[in-house]
Amino acid sequence: MSGHKLLFDGLKLWTSARSTWLSRLHDGVNGPGKACFSSCNLKLKVCIVGSGPAGFYTAQHLIKARQDVEVDIYERLPVPFGLVRFGVAPDHPEVKNVINTFTQTAKHSRCSFYGNVNVGKDVSIEELQQAYHAVVLSYGAEGNRTMGVPGEDLAGVYSAKDFVGWYNGLPSCRELSPDLSCETAVILGQGNVALDVARILLSPIDILKKTDITQAALEALVESQVRRVLIVGRRGPIQVACTIKELREMVNLPDTRPEMVAAEFQGVTEAVKDLPRPRKRLTELMLKTALEIPGEKEQERRSKASRSWAFRFFRSPIEILANPDNNRTAGIRLAVNRLEGSGEGARAVLTGEVEDVTCGLVISSIGYKSLPIDPSVPFDSHKAIVPNSMGRVQQAGGLYCSGWLKTGPTGVIATTMNNSFDTARSLLEDMDSGTVDVSAARPGSQSISGLLEKRGVRPVIFSDWEKIDRVEINRGEATGKPREKLLTVEEMLQVAQK
């Protein structure tokens, strides 16, 4: 009898659970990713502003997580991929492989790309919010942090963002035309971008001509007189912001030798043992490069090198020095610092000493910064981010942010991927909890396309980008390069709209 009773009770429980489940479905109470009877045809429309890594990773997560989400990505330029196209160094093609993943996302049946649409100008954020259930801002950091020192507007002073944009074919940097006729260049900042710039300035042309660096930059580098690059940081060796991969590339760069100042590594050997593993390995490589006597083969390589590079620590810029005509850079005045505290939290404190370095080129690599896009969007101008909690924009329901706009310009592509996935999760949670109202249909791109047409804006869809892509690859093949980029928006639109 007990067996029958168990079976009967089990059936009763199953029937009750089934009835609750059906009733919940009928009432529209559904779990994450499950469509309900009352709105089974309702598509959840999400708009993403910006088609760099943050935009594409946010889109990827949303599309995979729910079958009823449709994503539209809007981009100011006619071409997608943001800093993967315009920021990653030309000699790092392996990093650009993420474009393959982004292309899969863009070609997904529930994803659409609209390039050549300047959000904030061609269409407002409020108009996007009316057309979509949620809007995610992922447009990155296109502004420059200024040094705030006298002389930074002299000829010969550039931001790393613009210099990188110049050799990577960013349309707005096409006419930069940096003067490379000097022997010494000073780069301010010791992150990966600073090392990218140093490497491009010192790389043998034979290496660069097989990359997608622009032809104009390649020609300028062929004529370059730069033979020495100093990479300057306000703190010490233990605080450098680059990764070991980038440092190793500098150490092994053909036809170059490192010229470190041994005194700047005082006390570092003792401190190494207490460092976390990634920082420890990086510091050990620096110590080896700076202090160890190299083997015979390496000594021979260094003695034959025609170019040199070095980190300079405990230095902050206080003035760019002008030539006698006062019209271009002739040097830089650096304050000498000492550290207070230790490890990541150490602060640079002025000693009162200064040091002048003769140079004709100064590149400031002290960070990118985000800019406000629309008066309706909250913006913290001090931190240069949109104030948010886990990607939810503060005091703005249905509005989200991901990538550098959310966190500031930190980390590598993998960091951006994780922070974009987190934003996507926040958005999905809000849809499930009802914080974002998904009860009624939204027109999405249908209404935005109508607005853009009225305003004379013709978006570039992904198949149009593929035309640009083919033209660039064909142009590159002619000279043995992976691609030769189109350098103006006009050229891009001409090809896209054929």
Domain ranges of the chain: 37-142+370-460, 145-369
pTM for the model = 0.89
CA Rg, the chain, in Å? 27
- CB-count exposure of residue 132 (10 Å: 0-12, 13-18, 19+): buried
Instruction: Specify the pLDDT at position 145.
Output: 86
Using the 8-state DSSP alphabet, how is residue 420 labeled? H
15-45: pLDDT as tens digits:
343 343 333 333 333 344 433 433 457 899 9
Q: Taking every pair of C-alpha atoms in the chain, what is the biggest distance, in angstroms?
A: 107
pLDDT for residue 248 is more than 70: yes
Instruction: Specify the pLDDT at position 407.
Output: 95
What's the gap between Cα 97 and its chain centre? 15
In the structure, what pLDDT confidence band is assigned to residue 466 with cuts at 50, 70 and 90? very high
Rounded to an integer, the average pLDDT of 207-231 is 97
Instruction: Specify the pLDDT at position 9.
Output: 40
Using the 8-state DSSP alphabet, how is residue 410 labeled? -
Q: How large is the angle between the packed helices 215-223 and 160-168, nearest 10 degrees?
A: 110
| Homologous superfamily of the 145-369 domain (CATH) | FAD/NAD(P)-binding domain (3.50.50.60)
Which residue reads 């891009």 in tokens? Answer: 492
Instruction: Specify the pLDDT at position 26.
Output: 36
Instruction: Specify the pLDDT at position 40.
Output: 56
| Percent of the chain topping pLDDT 90 | 86
3-class state of residue 356 by DSSP: strand
Rounded to an integer, the average pLDDT of 334-352 is 92
How far apart CA 48 and CA 54 sit, in angstroms, is 9
Pairing of strands 329-340, 347-358: antiparallel
pLDDT for residue 195 is more than 70: yes
390-419: pLDDT as tens digits:
999 998 889 999 999 999 988 889 999 999
Extended strands (E) in 99-152: 111-114, 134-137, 143-144
**Which ranges of 173-327 does DSSP label H, i.e. alpha helix?**
192-202, 205-208, 215-223, 244-251, 268-272, 277-291, 296-304
- Distances from the Cα of 79 to the Cαs of 86, 121, 357, 486, in angstroms? 10, 18, 41, 10
Given a contact cutoff of 8 angstroms between Cβ atoms, the answer to whether 141 and 368 are in contact is yes
Residue 42's CB is within 10 A of a number of other CB atoms, namely 17
Of the candidates 455, 217, 188, 442, the one whose C-alpha atom is nearest the C-alpha of residue 334 is 188
3-class state of residue 131 by DSSP: helix
Rounded to an integer, the average pLDDT of 163-169 is 98
pLDDT for residue 278 is more than 70: yes
User: Which residues make beta-bridge pairs with 337?
Assistant: 350
Q: Is there a common fold for 37-142+370-460 and 145-369?
A: no
Average pLDDT, the chain: 91
Which tokens is 356 given? 């002048």
In the structure, what pLDDT confidence band is assigned to residue 2 with cuts at 50, 70 and 90? very low
36-90: pLDDT as tens digits:
433 457 899 999 999 999 999 999 999 999 999 999 999 999 999 999 999 999 9
- Distances from the Cα of 54 to the Cαs of 103, 131, 141, in angstroms? 14, 22, 11
In the structure, what pLDDT confidence band is assigned to residue 11 with cuts at 50, 70 and 90? very low
Assigned fold of 37-142+370-460: Rossmann fold (3.40.50)
Which tokens is 217 given? 């930059």
User: Which residues make beta-bridge pairs with 70?
Assistant: 45
Residue 175's CB is within 10 A of a number of other CB atoms, namely 9
Pairing of strands 361-364, 184-188: parallel
